[in-house]
Chains A and B, each alone.
Chain A
Amino acid sequence: MKTLAELAQIREKMKDKVGIREGVNGIRIVVGMATCGIAAGARPVLNTLVEEVAKEDLSSKATVTQTGCIGICQYEPVVEVFEAGKEKVTYVKVTPDMAKRIVAEHIKGGKIVTEYTIGNYKI
Protein backbone atom coordinates (compact mmCIF):
# COMPACT_ATOMS: atom_id res chain seq x y z
CA MET A 1 0.00 0.00 0.00
CA LYS A 2 1.35 3.40 -0.99
CA THR A 3 0.37 5.90 1.65
CA LEU A 4 1.25 9.47 2.53
CA ALA A 5 2.97 8.05 5.62
CA GLU A 6 5.34 6.25 3.28
CA LEU A 7 6.01 9.50 1.47
CA ALA A 8 6.90 11.07 4.81
CA GLN A 9 9.35 8.22 5.36
CA ILE A 10 11.03 9.01 2.06
CA ARG A 11 11.33 12.62 3.20
CA GLU A 12 12.95 11.57 6.48
CA LYS A 13 15.34 9.22 4.70
CA MET A 14 16.43 12.00 2.36
CA LYS A 15 16.98 14.45 5.19
CA ASP A 16 20.36 12.99 6.06
CA LYS A 17 21.61 13.28 2.52
CA VAL A 18 23.52 16.45 1.92
CA GLY A 19 23.02 18.69 -1.04
CA ILE A 20 19.81 17.08 -2.14
CA ARG A 21 17.41 19.92 -1.43
CA GLU A 22 19.60 22.43 -3.14
CA GLY A 23 19.96 20.26 -6.20
CA VAL A 24 22.90 22.40 -7.24
CA ASN A 25 25.79 20.12 -6.46
CA GLY A 26 26.31 17.07 -8.50
CA ILE A 27 25.14 15.86 -11.84
CA ARG A 28 22.09 17.10 -13.75
CA ILE A 29 20.50 14.70 -16.21
CA VAL A 30 18.09 16.50 -18.53
CA VAL A 31 15.70 14.93 -21.05
CA GLY A 32 14.07 16.81 -23.94
CA MET A 33 10.30 16.50 -23.48
CA ALA A 34 8.78 18.63 -26.22
CA THR A 35 6.42 17.03 -28.73
CA CYS A 36 9.33 15.79 -30.83
CA GLY A 37 10.95 14.11 -27.82
CA ILE A 38 7.74 12.59 -26.50
CA ALA A 39 6.78 11.23 -29.93
CA ALA A 40 10.24 9.69 -30.31
CA GLY A 41 10.00 7.87 -26.98
CA ALA A 42 11.38 10.26 -24.35
CA ARG A 43 8.86 9.27 -21.67
CA PRO A 44 10.10 5.70 -21.07
CA VAL A 45 13.67 6.99 -21.24
CA LEU A 46 12.98 9.57 -18.55
CA ASN A 47 11.10 7.00 -16.43
CA THR A 48 14.03 4.59 -16.74
CA LEU A 49 16.57 7.24 -15.75
CA VAL A 50 14.49 8.07 -12.65
CA GLU A 51 14.16 4.38 -11.74
CA GLU A 52 17.83 3.61 -12.19
CA VAL A 53 18.97 6.66 -10.23
CA ALA A 54 16.65 5.62 -7.38
CA LYS A 55 17.69 1.97 -7.59
CA GLU A 56 21.40 2.75 -7.56
CA ASP A 57 20.82 5.13 -4.64
CA LEU A 58 22.29 8.02 -6.58
CA SER A 59 19.61 10.60 -5.80
CA SER A 60 21.93 12.60 -3.57
CA LYS A 61 24.42 12.76 -6.42
CA ALA A 62 22.27 13.28 -9.51
CA THR A 63 18.97 14.94 -10.42
CA VAL A 64 16.79 13.96 -13.36
CA THR A 65 14.69 16.67 -14.98
CA GLN A 66 12.97 17.54 -18.25
CA THR A 67 13.21 20.42 -20.65
CA GLY A 68 11.55 21.60 -23.86
CA CYS A 69 12.84 21.20 -27.38
CA ILE A 70 16.62 20.99 -27.41
CA GLY A 71 16.64 21.90 -31.10
CA ILE A 72 17.92 18.68 -32.58
CA CYS A 73 14.60 16.95 -33.19
CA GLN A 74 16.04 14.36 -35.55
CA TYR A 75 18.18 12.99 -32.68
CA GLU A 76 15.38 12.65 -30.12
CA PRO A 77 15.14 11.26 -27.51
CA VAL A 78 18.03 13.42 -26.33
CA VAL A 79 19.61 13.18 -22.87
CA GLU A 80 22.05 15.81 -21.69
CA VAL A 81 24.35 15.37 -18.72
CA PHE A 82 25.68 18.47 -16.94
CA GLU A 83 28.38 18.36 -14.33
CA ALA A 84 30.16 21.31 -12.76
CA GLY A 85 33.57 21.90 -14.29
CA LYS A 86 32.97 19.44 -17.10
CA GLU A 87 31.78 19.77 -20.64
CA LYS A 88 28.13 18.90 -21.35
CA VAL A 89 27.60 15.38 -22.68
CA THR A 90 24.78 14.89 -25.20
CA TYR A 91 23.38 11.41 -25.74
CA VAL A 92 21.14 10.95 -28.75
CA LYS A 93 18.46 8.50 -29.91
CA VAL A 94 18.39 7.11 -26.42
CA THR A 95 16.36 4.01 -25.56
CA PRO A 96 15.47 2.73 -22.07
CA ASP A 97 18.26 0.12 -22.31
CA MET A 98 20.77 2.79 -23.26
CA ALA A 99 19.51 4.89 -20.35
CA LYS A 100 20.35 2.03 -17.96
CA ARG A 101 23.91 1.90 -19.25
CA ILE A 102 24.26 5.68 -19.04
CA VAL A 103 23.33 5.59 -15.36
CA ALA A 104 25.52 2.60 -14.56
CA GLU A 105 28.63 3.68 -16.46
CA HIS A 106 28.49 7.46 -16.61
CA ILE A 107 26.52 8.63 -13.58
CA LYS A 108 27.67 5.91 -11.23
CA GLY A 109 30.99 4.95 -12.79
CA GLY A 110 32.07 8.35 -14.07
CA LYS A 111 32.84 7.06 -17.55
CA ILE A 112 31.10 8.59 -20.58
CA VAL A 113 29.37 6.07 -22.88
CA THR A 114 31.04 7.51 -25.96
CA GLU A 115 29.25 5.33 -28.48
CA TYR A 116 25.90 6.91 -27.56
CA THR A 117 27.03 10.52 -27.77
CA ILE A 118 26.12 12.93 -30.54
CA GLY A 119 29.75 13.06 -31.66
CA ASN A 120 29.37 9.50 -32.79
CA TYR A 121 26.52 10.41 -35.14
CA LYS A 122 28.20 13.23 -36.98
CA ILE A 123 29.23 12.51 -40.51
Chain B
Amino acid sequence: MKELSLNILDIAQNSFTAGASLTEILLTEKENRFIIQVKDDGCGMSEETLLKVSNPFYTTRTTRKVGLGIPLFRLAAEQTGGYIEIQSSQKPEDHGTVITGVFFKDHIDFTPLGDIASTVCLLAQGCGNGDMVFRHQTENGEVELDTRALREVLQGLPLSNPDVQLWIKDYVKQQYENIKM
Protein backbone atom coordinates (compact mmCIF):
# COMPACT_ATOMS: atom_id res chain seq x y z
CA MET B 1 0.00 0.00 0.00
CA LYS B 2 1.23 3.46 -0.89
CA GLU B 3 -0.36 5.24 2.06
CA LEU B 4 -1.01 4.19 5.66
CA SER B 5 -4.50 5.65 5.28
CA LEU B 6 -5.16 2.86 2.76
CA ASN B 7 -4.08 0.22 5.29
CA ILE B 8 -6.38 1.86 7.84
CA LEU B 9 -9.30 1.71 5.41
CA ASP B 10 -8.55 -1.94 4.76
CA ILE B 11 -8.12 -3.02 8.39
CA ALA B 12 -11.31 -1.22 9.42
CA GLN B 13 -13.20 -3.09 6.67
CA ASN B 14 -12.49 -6.29 8.62
CA SER B 15 -14.34 -4.78 11.59
CA PHE B 16 -17.34 -3.90 9.44
CA THR B 17 -17.34 -7.41 7.99
CA ALA B 18 -17.28 -8.76 11.56
CA GLY B 19 -20.57 -6.97 12.17
CA ALA B 20 -19.20 -4.40 14.61
CA SER B 21 -21.71 -1.98 16.06
CA LEU B 22 -18.87 0.34 17.01
CA THR B 23 -15.47 0.57 15.34
CA GLU B 24 -12.89 2.94 16.80
CA ILE B 25 -9.89 4.07 14.83
CA LEU B 26 -7.32 5.72 17.01
CA LEU B 27 -4.14 7.29 15.70
CA THR B 28 -1.65 8.51 18.23
CA GLU B 29 1.53 10.37 17.43
CA LYS B 30 4.12 10.86 20.07
CA GLU B 31 7.71 11.77 19.41
CA ASN B 32 8.89 9.40 16.71
CA ARG B 33 6.11 6.89 17.21
CA PHE B 34 2.93 6.59 15.21
CA ILE B 35 0.40 4.17 16.65
CA ILE B 36 -2.63 2.94 14.75
CA GLN B 37 -5.29 1.08 16.69
CA VAL B 38 -8.49 -0.37 15.25
CA LYS B 39 -10.88 -1.60 17.90
CA ASP B 40 -14.25 -3.20 17.33
CA ASP B 41 -17.06 -5.05 19.08
CA GLY B 42 -17.65 -7.42 16.19
CA CYS B 43 -17.84 -11.20 16.29
CA GLY B 44 -14.14 -11.70 17.05
CA MET B 45 -11.85 -14.39 15.65
CA SER B 46 -11.72 -18.08 16.44
CA GLU B 47 -8.54 -19.32 18.14
CA GLU B 48 -7.51 -20.90 14.89
CA THR B 49 -7.90 -17.68 12.90
CA LEU B 50 -6.18 -15.67 15.61
CA LEU B 51 -3.21 -18.02 15.54
CA LYS B 52 -3.07 -17.82 11.79
CA VAL B 53 -3.22 -14.06 11.50
CA SER B 54 -0.76 -13.66 14.37
CA ASN B 55 1.76 -15.79 12.54
CA PRO B 56 3.89 -13.61 10.27
CA PHE B 57 4.26 -16.43 7.78
CA TYR B 58 0.68 -17.59 7.63
CA THR B 59 0.13 -16.53 4.04
CA THR B 60 2.81 -18.89 2.79
CA ARG B 61 2.14 -21.81 5.12
CA THR B 62 -1.41 -22.54 4.30
CA THR B 63 -3.01 -23.67 1.11
CA ARG B 64 -6.39 -22.17 1.83
CA LYS B 65 -7.21 -18.77 0.44
CA VAL B 66 -6.19 -16.27 3.05
CA GLY B 67 -6.39 -12.54 3.20
CA LEU B 68 -3.71 -9.99 2.58
CA GLY B 69 -4.98 -7.18 4.76
CA ILE B 70 -3.27 -8.04 8.03
CA PRO B 71 0.01 -9.19 6.40
CA LEU B 72 0.29 -5.87 4.53
CA PHE B 73 -0.41 -3.92 7.73
CA ARG B 74 2.23 -5.97 9.53
CA LEU B 75 4.74 -5.38 6.74
CA ALA B 76 4.16 -1.61 6.84
CA ALA B 77 4.84 -1.59 10.61
CA GLU B 78 7.78 -3.98 10.62
CA GLN B 79 9.61 -2.20 7.83
CA THR B 80 9.91 0.82 10.16
CA GLY B 81 11.22 -1.32 13.01
CA GLY B 82 7.75 -1.55 14.54
CA TYR B 83 5.30 -4.36 15.10
CA ILE B 84 1.62 -5.25 15.29
CA GLU B 85 -0.43 -6.84 18.05
CA ILE B 86 -3.78 -8.56 17.74
CA GLN B 87 -6.24 -9.33 20.51
CA SER B 88 -9.55 -10.95 19.78
CA SER B 89 -12.35 -12.62 21.66
CA GLN B 90 -15.51 -14.43 20.68
CA LYS B 91 -16.86 -14.59 24.22
CA PRO B 92 -20.46 -13.40 24.34
CA GLU B 93 -19.70 -10.95 27.13
CA ASP B 94 -16.71 -9.23 25.53
CA HIS B 95 -16.49 -10.15 21.88
CA GLY B 96 -14.40 -8.00 19.60
CA THR B 97 -10.98 -7.38 18.16
CA VAL B 98 -8.18 -4.90 18.74
CA ILE B 99 -5.43 -4.55 16.17
CA THR B 100 -2.57 -2.24 17.06
CA GLY B 101 0.32 -1.24 14.82
CA VAL B 102 3.35 0.62 16.11
CA PHE B 103 5.31 2.54 13.48
CA PHE B 104 8.48 4.61 13.65
CA LYS B 105 8.07 7.86 11.76
CA ASP B 106 11.74 8.67 11.41
CA HIS B 107 12.51 5.40 9.65
CA ILE B 108 13.23 5.73 5.95
CA ASP B 109 10.63 3.06 5.17
CA PHE B 110 7.82 4.77 7.04
CA THR B 111 4.84 4.98 4.68
CA PRO B 112 3.19 8.42 4.74
CA LEU B 113 -0.33 8.65 6.12
CA GLY B 114 -1.59 10.14 2.85
CA ASP B 115 -5.16 11.19 2.15
CA ILE B 116 -6.73 10.37 5.51
CA ALA B 117 -9.82 12.56 4.90
CA SER B 118 -10.79 10.31 1.96
CA THR B 119 -10.41 7.28 4.17
CA VAL B 120 -12.53 8.74 6.98
CA CYS B 121 -15.47 9.64 4.73
CA LEU B 122 -15.41 6.20 3.13
CA LEU B 123 -15.28 4.56 6.56
CA ALA B 124 -18.39 6.52 7.51
CA GLN B 125 -19.95 5.26 4.29
CA GLY B 126 -18.89 1.66 4.86
CA CYS B 127 -19.82 1.16 8.49
CA GLY B 128 -23.41 0.40 7.50
CA ASN B 129 -25.73 0.23 10.48
CA GLY B 130 -22.76 0.33 12.83
CA ASP B 131 -20.96 3.41 14.02
CA MET B 132 -17.42 4.62 13.64
CA VAL B 133 -15.23 6.88 15.69
CA PHE B 134 -12.06 8.28 14.21
CA ARG B 135 -9.61 10.09 16.44
CA HIS B 136 -6.13 11.31 15.57
CA GLN B 137 -4.08 12.68 18.44
CA THR B 138 -1.02 14.66 17.52
CA GLU B 139 1.23 16.84 19.57
CA ASN B 140 -0.48 19.89 18.01
CA GLY B 141 -4.02 18.83 18.72
CA GLU B 142 -6.72 16.38 17.83
CA VAL B 143 -8.91 15.49 14.87
CA GLU B 144 -12.15 13.64 15.56
CA LEU B 145 -15.17 12.29 13.76
CA ASP B 146 -17.95 10.34 15.49
CA THR B 147 -20.74 9.05 13.28
CA ARG B 148 -23.08 8.85 16.28
CA ALA B 149 -23.04 12.64 16.58
CA LEU B 150 -23.59 13.00 12.83
CA ARG B 151 -26.53 10.61 12.83
CA GLU B 152 -28.28 12.76 15.42
CA VAL B 153 -28.14 15.65 13.00
CA LEU B 154 -28.94 13.57 9.93
CA GLN B 155 -32.11 12.05 11.38
CA GLY B 156 -32.21 9.08 9.06
CA LEU B 157 -30.44 10.51 6.04
CA PRO B 158 -27.71 7.93 5.38
CA LEU B 159 -24.04 8.70 5.97
CA SER B 160 -23.45 7.36 2.47
CA ASN B 161 -25.41 10.21 0.90
CA PRO B 162 -22.96 11.85 -1.53
CA ASP B 163 -23.51 15.37 -0.17
CA VAL B 164 -22.98 14.09 3.37
CA GLN B 165 -19.83 12.30 2.22
CA LEU B 166 -18.37 15.49 0.81
CA TRP B 167 -19.25 17.35 3.98
CA ILE B 168 -17.45 14.73 6.11
CA LYS B 169 -14.35 14.89 3.95
CA ASP B 170 -14.17 18.68 4.16
CA TYR B 171 -14.96 18.63 7.87
CA VAL B 172 -12.01 16.31 8.53
CA LYS B 173 -9.70 18.25 6.20
CA GLN B 174 -10.59 21.45 7.98
CA GLN B 175 -9.73 19.98 11.37
CA TYR B 176 -6.33 18.94 10.02
CA GLU B 177 -5.78 22.47 8.69
CA ASN B 178 -6.51 23.82 12.15
CA ILE B 179 -3.90 21.71 13.90
CA LYS B 180 -1.21 22.34 11.33
CA MET B 181 1.41 24.65 12.77
**Residues in chain A within 8 A of chain B (CB atoms):** 1-2, 4, 6-8, 10-11, 13-14, 20-21, 23, 33-36, 38-39, 43-44, 46-47, 50-51, 53-54, 58-59, 63-66, 68
**B167 A33 Cβ-Cβ under 8 A:** no
Residues of A within 8 A of B28 (CB): none
**B118 A44 Cβ-Cβ under 8 A:** yes
Please list 10 pairs of residues, one from A and one from B, whose beta carbons are closer than 8 Å in the complex, sorted by A's number: A10-B163, A13-B163, A21-B156, A38-B6, A38-B9, A50-B166, A53-B162, A54-B165, A64-B125, A68-B13
Residues of A within 8 A of B67 (CB): 35
Size range of the chain B interface in the assembly: 35 or more
Give the number of residue pairs across the A-B interface with Cβ within 8 Å.
96
What secondary structure prevails in chain A residues at the interface with B?
Answer: helix
CA distance A10 to B115 in the complex (A): 24
Which positions 136-170 of chain B face chain A at CB distance < 8 Å? 149-150, 153-158, 160-167, 169-170
Q: If the complex has contacts A2-B170, A43-B118, A43-B122, are A11 and B155 also in contact, measured as CB distance less than 8 A?
A: yes
Which positions 29-76 of chain B face chain A at CB distance < 8 Å? 67-69, 72
Residues of B within 8 A of A68 (CB): 13, 17
CA distance A10 to B164 in the complex (A): 7
**A39 B6 Cβ-Cβ under 8 A:** yes
B90 contacts partner chain A, Cβ-Cβ < 8 Å: no
Cβ-closest chain B residue relative to A58: B162
Residues of A within 8 A of B118 (CB): 43-44, 47
Q: By CB atoms of chain A within 10 A, which of B69, B118, B156, B165 has the most?
A: B165
Partner of A10, one of B17, B156, B157, B174: B157
**A7 B160 Cβ-Cβ under 8 A:** no
Q: If the complex has contacts A2-B167, A23-B158, A35-B72, are A7 and B150 also in contact, measured as CB distance less than 8 A?
A: yes
**A2 B9 Cβ-Cβ under 8 A:** no
Residues of A within 8 A of B72 (CB): 35, 39
A85 → chain B closest CB, angstroms: 23
Closest 5 A-B residue pairs measured CB to CB? A54-B162, A2-B171, A35-B69, A35-B68, A53-B162
Given pairs A10-B157, A44-B118, A46-B122, 18 additional interface contacts (CB within 8 A): A2-B167, A7-B167, A10-B163, A11-B157, A35-B67, A39-B1, A39-B68, A43-B115, A47-B118, A54-B162, A54-B163, A58-B162, A59-B161, A59-B163, A63-B160, A65-B126, A66-B125, A68-B13
